[in-house]
Chain A
Amino acid sequence: MSTSEVFMAEPISNRSEIYLRFSRRSMAVVLMVVLMLSAMGIALTLHANVPKTAIWLIPIAIAIAVVVLQSTTRGDRWDPESPEAKALLNDEWRQANLNRATRVAFGLTLLVQVPLGLLFAAGLELQVQQAVTAMVISTTGFGVTSMISLFLWFDRE
C-alpha cells in the first residue's frame, strides 16, 4: 500500500488528529521563520557587516521544516475539501482562540511600541532611517510571533 492509501485507511478520527497536528506544526514553523526573518532584518539594519551567507540559512531552514511537516501527514497532501480539513477550518473553538490571540497580540504590540521606540531612537543612537526600519521590522515581527504563540498556547490540549 502506498503512503496515501495507508493514510486513507486510517479511521477518520485519526485523520482529524493528523490534520490537527499538521496544522499546529505548520504554525510553529511559520513562527520560527518569522522570528528568523525578523532577527535577520534587525541584524542587517543595525549592523551592515552581517555576513550575507547567513541569509541562506533561512531557505535551508524552511526546506528542512517542510520535510518535517510532510512526515506529520505521512506523505499525504493536505486536502482542503476533505471533511477533516473542513472541520478543522470551520472549528469554532479554534476560531475563538484565534480571535482571542489576535486581540491580545494587538494590545501587546501597542504596549511594546514605547519601549521599542525609546530603544531604537534614543538608546542605540541610530540614524532616523535605521531607527524607522528597525521599528517596522520589530513591530511586525513581534505582532505576528505573539499572535501565533498566543494561538498555539490558547489552542493547546
Chain B
Amino acid sequence: MEPELRNRIKVQRAICDLTQAELAEKAGVTRKSVNAIETGRMVPSVLLALKLANALGVTVDALFTLDGDAPK
C-alpha cells in the first residue's frame, strides 16, 4: 500500500498566528495553493515545501510526514 503524505501546515500556521493568505504571501504563492496542500488535494514540489517551511520558521520534516512516521 502506498504511504500517504500528511502535513501539519494548519497547526504550524495556528502557532505562528497566520492566515492562509498571510502564509501564501510569505511563501510567494496563492491562498488556493496553501488551501489545496492543507486539505491534501495537492502534493507540493520540494521547492514549495521549502518555501512553506521557511515561511513558518520550521523544517520541511516538521511540516510533512509519511503516514505512519512519527512527527519530528
Contact = CB atoms under 8 A, between A and B. Distances in A.
Interface stretch (A9-17, A47-55, A101-109, A111-119): A9-17
Given A87-B24, A93-B36, A17 B45 contact: no
Contacts of B67: none
A20 B29 CA distance: 11
A95 to B, nearest CB: 10
A76 interface: no
Contact of A87 (B30, B42, B45): B30
Dominant secondary structure of chain A at its interface with chain B: helix
Interface residues of A, number: 17
B44 interface: yes
23 contacts: A13-B19, A13-B21, A13-B22, A13-B24, A16-B21, A16-B24, A16-B30, A16-B31, A17-B21, A17-B31, A83-B25, A87-B28, A87-B29, A87-B30, A88-B30, A91-B30, A92-B42, A92-B45, A93-B29, A93-B33, A94-B32, A96-B42, A155-B32
Interface of B: 19, 21-22, 24-25, 28-33, 36-37, 42, 44-45, 48
